[in-house]
Chains A and B, each alone.
Chain A
């Protein structure tokens, strides 16, 4: 064993060790190269350069550029999803670097740990490692240790309805994961408890800029926002600016 392994082996947190071991046994989860299209039009790249040279190189406001948040809120509402409860729809959205970071700040902001997350098909959840970090495990049947509901967008209408009913009956947070889906009609949400997470990877040219989001009732956003600030302050300003430019181009 090398000197460096002796020093820090045993100093790594128990969860990290577990994550390491699990990954060693699961080839499909090995670290991977993320390909993406970076085919921005010349006009978008030029507009980005212009914005940066004009000084958009600083931290943005912590929840994200208001124009971007507003566009996301309006787009989600237009898909039949959540109706903003804030006077400015931007206040219902938090910009993150990915939908997994959005889930992470939900877990911290709502204090979700040590229990069960109710879902339809646990094996299809892309966030099992993240949930495990907080001592949460996915279950298909309601139990007294349930902390929240997790609904990936691809579920059937019946499954969405069943899970949402559980959230309502048990007064639990309802997490709806859109991942990169930017166009499907959305299942029913609850205005007090649904937290929608997703990313903009499905929009041409954006996947390598890493923009995610959380849309939720204003009171829940207020709980999650400090943890986004604590984790990475704000999402990269150039990424947010490009997202605004692309959404403007798309007319969404």
Chain B
């Protein structure tokens, strides 16, 4: 039997998993790689989900629990002034990843061009590939400014069908200011693009930064699909609950696809998500406070080592420039892991051009982050710095 050769997106994803596998076989590794919060799901969410499971009705639908969709609809209205009706505009998915994949299948025909910010989470490549589409990468604004560049977007928008807009961004953590979001919205409208707005990290922003969903911009609600999840905000990665909010016609199409491919989401996970929205305001606050403290430590550490990075506005990653050490990112990360027992992901796992960058996560306790910085310092002290002329 013939089996296909892995695609570029699949290879990029596997590059991350191979490093994680190597790290799993080692002891005392400071893990600054993966995007799974080390914090457990707040206990009040678990207890409420168990309580609801013992009392709730024993049935599920592909679209998701009514009460959960209602709670999401209310949150979008309260926090983003977005008007999405629970019964027609919201679909519950197995995490944001399934939401992304189903959206691509619902929007993209073979040969369609999909605009994606570069660098990018490689699962976008696999989802677009599965739909038969073609990724068109859009470079960021500057060497250390990773916001989407409107001029570069205009240059590539012709004949494209979909724009994937990730704000705050993974892997760069760039948070797009409201004026820039409005500019991007105008371009999307002018070029008749459907926007898939990945807002997984929009509740994990720092320094009182203002977040504007592109769906809030003029004329955008009807051409935007909002994608989000409970995984990062509530430390609920294992529950696999996400959602899509968008125009009814689109939600109906995706629901049919979900019916064919995966079916309804687990009832227990949906109860946990409902508990997160209704019971865990304090839990969310605690998680954000924890990440804010860790972010400060990591940024101070990188500053002390003279390692530049893009301004991290949201999420729990830092996109750092390691070019001065003169080694391609993959080699740098492999040696850092083997010699210093610190796990980071190479930029090339997020796009082939990013050999000068690494993605650092802050998903370890503060003392482990400090230890990681010390080890990184010792490791890079042994590297000869490359000076530019």
Contact = CB atoms under 8 A, between A and B. Distances in A.
Bind each other: yes
A166 interface: no
A226 B253 contact: no
A118 to B, nearest CB: 14
What class of interface size applies to chain B in its complex with A?
35 or more
Interface stretch (B35-43, B285-293, B308-316, B376-384): B35-43
A33 B238 contact: no
Interface string A210-252: 1000000001100100110111111111110010000000000
Interface string A173-189: 10000000000000000
Contacts of A59: 36, 237-238
Given A20-B253, A55-B40, A231 B266 contact: no
A130 B240 contact: no
B41 A52 contact: yes
Given A57-B40, A239-B268, A97 B263 contact: yes
Contacts of A208: 58-60, 266-268
Contacts of A19: 253, 256-257, 260
Interface residues of A, number: 78
A237 B61 contact: no
B297 to A, nearest CB: 22
18 contacts: A14-B109, A19-B256, A31-B61, A33-B59, A52-B41, A58-B40, A59-B238, A97-B262, A97-B265, A101-B262, A133-B105, A208-B267, A226-B126, A230-B97, A232-B97, A232-B98, A234-B238, A236-B265
Contacts of B109: 13-15
Interface of B: 1-4, 6, 9-10, 13-14, 17, 36-37, 40-41, 43, 46-47, 49-50, 53-54, 56, 58-63, 94-95, 97-98, 101, 105-109, 123, 126-127, 130-131, 161, 194, 221-223, 235-240, 246-250, 252-257, 259-269, 272
Given A226-B13, A226-B126, 7 more contacts: A5-B248, A16-B254, A36-B58, A53-B46, A58-B40, A101-B262, A111-B2
Interface string A9-49: 10111111101100100000001111111111000010011
A5 B260 CA distance: 23
Nearest to B24: A61
Contacts of B257: 16, 19, 133
Contacts of A60: 238
Contact of B10 (A12, A31, A37, A230): A230
A204 interface: no
Interface of A: 3-9, 11-17, 19-20, 23, 31-40, 45, 48-49, 52-53, 55-60, 62, 96-98, 100-101, 104, 108-111, 127, 129-130, 133, 171-173, 192-193, 208-210, 219-220, 223, 226-227, 229-239, 242
